[in-house]
Structure 1
């Protein structure tokens, strides 16, 4: 959530930057400023009435002590009137705050100045690429056919048990999945991230804190009886560890990592893009998350990008990095880099990681603050990234490492799998 002070002081900048998202925010921003002005005026009136009421209360006590009962009773009548006024103002103030917050929840984060303009993924800017795309010949199979050929992932069984988008990993497929999770976590902890095991369901406050709620696109699974939500990513429970906390400046930075299954309804998804592991309702992901001093958050973002690059270099998968355009930028993000691995058999790029800086947007919703060296209370910056999402990494390995004799295992994973080939 954008800070009111930031919107008031940077009205033109906010509107211009939000236009990168193809959003004309003029009306919303002006309404926010007008509502905030009403709130401030109402708060000032209420404070004045409460102060006057307190002053009268003291005078009433003194008048009774001095025997001036008539004057005391007149003041009591005035205090009753003031109480009625304060009650009405309090109700008005509460309504204004609720209306203002509901509007603020609808305004996305302001894109960083280097975010390119654009409306679709085709407008994203490629900033880096690495690795050669292997020539597998005309006989190369997509990963869903490889999974069936070697009996390592059963999509039909998952459909039987639950439904489409819930695959069952078997034998070497399950071991490869577990190997990737362990490898990712080991790489993250070696880089200084503290590992957490996190809940897979969160409450409403946690969903609001990181910006998943209100759920504008209907992507979250909701356990209605308990009003809990299945997590779409470990970002939600991990960031909410610090919801409402006041940190000291020397507590920063904080770096976390965790593995969780993730759940997304993916409403409206259909066609070839959802085949196999391309788009699932349940999938595994290892996340990295940082809470940073505002002065260091973009250096931290660069280091997170380099960290993910290092992992993909070791896996020896062809990949590229995109700086997302405004139209493809997530609601809470100020700047996002997407990593895509090339699917040789499908002849297309598959997103496997997003690394984002949210600046103060999440921290403002979370009330996640720190006290600086001068004793002032400031909002932290939050960042997170996939390190990595497993389904498409696994798809990339199956397709890019396929041979006539089977599927080779990347060398860096062999200590984790205890086998070097699937055949």
Structure 2
């Protein structure tokens, strides 16, 4: 008979998203059956699990957390604030608690502490995640406390908090006068302090360096609250998550145009997953979140959501216009490649972008894709015909074909003739898609 387990965390966006993502990865790779229903209140996020073999889930969760700990060393990043009041001052205390000798590099220290935590709680990780949290609301603050722990949670899970995301804006009454401001104080023991840094490593996809900025790129699974996820749901969602993480590791996230980046990601997922139409029946979303260190806190750079149901919508839209599912996925791949090329040119080739008016082309291209995946939205006909004129002007088409071909030679190692024919084919596909959408109006 399945065993019921309830795991929880404070309902801070980074922490809740990390817990949901870690459970998704662990459940999808678990050797036995796991079902889960996610719930949330103003202060706590919970997953109500039905576990056929808790030991199997423990082993799978341990693997997920170990892989997360390794990412800190792999990416050479430690998401900690530094200084007398920073997170780094707590590492010695946590190391003593876990019996770890700390190395020299901060990221190696964090990785070693994460591995030590998993070793300490081998077979008991679900117990740690099931810890009880107390809520106190005195006059000037809200305190959320794990057991009798006294360590304030690190800046990473606290920074994008209820307070700063607008979900908790002081202790506001509904009478006259200004809002009474309050503090959100979240505390735990050394083990949960370390766990609150280890959990976010599970959805961490990349450390992106743009100029002087170092941005942590996360891909969170956002479940549909109240829905009971079954094993086949976890398998499907895990595939989407892996595809998204792989793309973002290769390309980063184009923060200069998050909508173009989102549609490119969606097209890439549609082309890469094994069964796109499965996602019509699976609720949930992926959230791509970029954070950077700003002083003694982490600051949101961007946050963009892809609903997994849009994968089925995009595939269906392409299938309706091109007749076969296999062709629909090829079209999705072509759209993804075009999106990646536009992002690269807009970011790194300003002169070419101006010459070919790629900012305008990208704006029209987004309207085309939006009309395919957003029910009730239809791109204005004038815009579709303007996009078609771009594609049919010979000089523009020849120039852009050459740019696409050059990218395929450099990145995909194609021979020049093959690259040029591939580039022509992708532009022909896009032209046919625009004509189809414009003609269906």
Question: Which structure shows the bigger proportion of residues in helix conformation?
Answer: 2
Task: Tell me the TM-score normalised to structure 2 length.
Answer: 0.24
Relative contact order, higher structure (CA 8 A, sep 6+): 1
Query: Who wins on radius of gyration, i.e. which is larger?
Result: 1
